[in-house]
Structure formats: C-alpha cells, structure tokens
C-alpha cells in the first residue's frame, strides 16, 4: 500500500477544501435549474495541479477531486444520480486533457506554439465536449440534449480557457514568462489593474468594460505573461463576484438573467 506522508495528506485536504469552495461558488452562480454552472473553473484547477505532479500521484489527486465534486453536489441537493454522473464527466475531461497534454512534471509550456495549439484543441474543445456529451445523456429526460451539451460545453471550455492558462503560467519557472521590471513598474501595473477593476465593477451606471483590456495590457507590458495571468484571474474573480451581488456594468443589460450571464461569459472569454 502506498505510504502517504503528513505533508501529502495535508495537501490533499487543502485540495479537498479548495475544490469544495470553488464548486460551491460555481454552482451558486448557476443560471439553470439543473445545476449546470455558468462558468466552471474546478476542472482547470485540477488540470493545472496535475501538471506539477508525477503520474504516480495522479490517482490520489483525482480521487480527492471526485469526492469533493460529488460531496458538494449532494450537499447542494443535487440528486445523487446526477451528482455522481456529473463528477464522473468532470473526471473524464480532466484525465483526457492531462493525459494527452502532459509528459514530465512541469515540462508543458504555453509559450510554445505547438503546445498552445494542443491546449486549445483539448482543453477548449475535445475535453469539454466529452464531458458535455455525458452530461447531456444524464439530463436527457429533463431537457433537450443539444441544449444541455451547449450549456455544459460553454461553461467548461470557458473555465478551462480563462483559468487553466493563468494558473499554469503563475506556477511556472520565471525564466521566459516573467519580464524583469523595477519596483516602480510592478507597482504601476498592480495599481493600474486594481484601479480599473474598482472603477468598472463598483458601479452599474456606465458601460465601461472596455477599460479592463487596457489595464491588462499594461500588466502584460510591465510584467510579462505572469502579470497578464494574475490580471486575468483578478478580473474573472471580481467580474463574477460583482455580478453575483448585483453591481457592475453587466447589470446594465436590459435582458434577463440568462442574457446577463451570456454577456459575462463573452467578456471573460474576450479578456482571456
């Protein structure tokens, strides 16, 4: 039997707790009655974590992710049959993407063009499509398969494309992904992004989402890919949180909740 150190168990418990929080927040902001999240960063989180671990540790990480996924669904009153099925669909997506993308731990790099293309095709296409197909079969008696497939695929692909690259870049070695800069430049980039997020999302009177790409470009110019990655994660967190509590320019849309969600998805996809 494999021996787990105290540090390994602590890391798995941290993953379990973090995963439950991410899943809860994702389902809290769901726009459908069947608990298909509007944006699903959970798979991206696990995918990024697997990148840094040898394959011998993957089973424990995947088992922890599955348990946290299933347990959170049950606690949120999703029927057991669906929550187990959804957790299995997420596992299929993660394993497919990780198995075909990763070789040696930490060797995968998004600044390599061929690796980036493979990532887009798998994490933004084939992986979410496989899990969406499983989910559409599970909900076939509740809603049309095409509707379920589109909602699930959009949620998972968006989560992968927004969160996974940023997490992979932030966890990478700083050699080619970090631009040497002075403290003044770093401060300017951080203040610029923070100020833009406050100005844009602390109000719902003016449609000024266009300010955000400029602030992210500043972070990228001053700090390189890591600056851009951190800015994208901060933007996604603030945009989702503000939309949940009812502030921000997303609420200037005169459509219903579904249209606001589509607008948010489009914005996050654009900035990423």
DSSP letter for each residue of 234-264: HHHHHHHHHHHHT-SGGGG--S-HHHHHHHH
Please provide residue 171's backbone torsions phi and psi, each rounded to the nearest 5 degrees.
Answer: -90, 0
Are 38 and 29 in contact by the 8 Å Cβ rule? The answer is yes
Side-chain-side CA neighbours of residue 181 (13 Å): 22
The predicted model scores a pTM of 0.81
Element (H, E) at 184: helix 183-201
H/E stretch holding 220: helix 211-245
Residues 6+ apart with CB under 8 A from 3: none
Q: How far apart are CA 266 and CA 121, in angstroms?
A: 19
| Tokens read off for 188 | 């300017």
Task: Walk along the chain (272 residues) and give the pLDDT tens digit of each residue.
Answer: 455 678 778 888 888 998 898 888 888 766 444 567 778 999 999 999 998 888 888 999 999 999 999 999 899 888 899 999 999 999 999 999 998 888 766 667 777 788 888 899 999 999 999 999 999 999 998 889 998 999 899 989 989 998 998 888 887 655 554 555 667 777 888 888 889 889 888 887 888 888 888 888 888 877 777 788 888 888 888 888 888 777 888 877 776 666 777 788 888 888 87
> Which position has the token pair 């608990």?
35
Q: Which residues of 94-127 are buried (b: 16+ CB within 10 A; e: fewer)?
A: bbbbbeebbeeeeebebeeeeeeeebeebbbbeb
Instruction: Give me the count of residues in the chain.
Output: 272
Helix (H) or strand (E) holding 146: helix 145-170
Q: Which residues contact 41 (CB under 8 A, 6 or more apart)?
A: 22, 26, 159, 162, 163, 236
């Amino acid at each position: 039997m494999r021996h787990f150190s105290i540090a390994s168990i602590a890391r798995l418990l941290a993953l379990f707790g973090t995963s439950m929080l991410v899943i809860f927040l994702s389902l809290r902001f769901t726009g459908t009655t069947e608990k298909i999240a509007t944006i699903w960063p959970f798979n991206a989180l696990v995918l990024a974590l697997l990148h840094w671990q040898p394959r011998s540790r993957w089973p424990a990480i995947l088992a922890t992710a599955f348990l946290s996924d299933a347990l959170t669904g049950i606690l949120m009153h999703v029927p057991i049959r669906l929550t187990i099925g959804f957790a299995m669909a997420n596992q299929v997506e993660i394993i497919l993407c990780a198995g075909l993308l990763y070789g040696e731990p930490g060797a995968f790099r998004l600044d390599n063009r061929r690796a980036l293309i493979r990532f887009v095709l798998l994490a933004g296409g084939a992986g979410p499509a496989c899990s969406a197909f499983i989910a559409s079969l599970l909900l076939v008696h509740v809603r049309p398969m095409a509707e379920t497939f589109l909602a699930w695929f959009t949620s998972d692909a968006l989560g992968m494309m927004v969160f996974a690259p940023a997490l992979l870049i932030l966890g990478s070695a700083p050699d080619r992904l970090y631009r040497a800069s002075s403290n003044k430049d770093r401060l300017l980039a951080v203040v610029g992004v923070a100020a833009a997020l406050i100005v844009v999302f602390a109000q719902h009177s003016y449609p000024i989402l266009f300010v955000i790409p400029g602030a992210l470009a500043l972070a990228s110019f001053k700090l390189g890919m890591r600056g851009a990655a951190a800015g994208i994660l901060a933007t996604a967190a603030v945009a989702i949180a503000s939309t949940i509590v009812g502030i921000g320019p997303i609420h200037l849309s005169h459509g219903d909740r579904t249209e606001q969600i589509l607008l948010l998805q489009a914005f996050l996809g654009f900035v990423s």
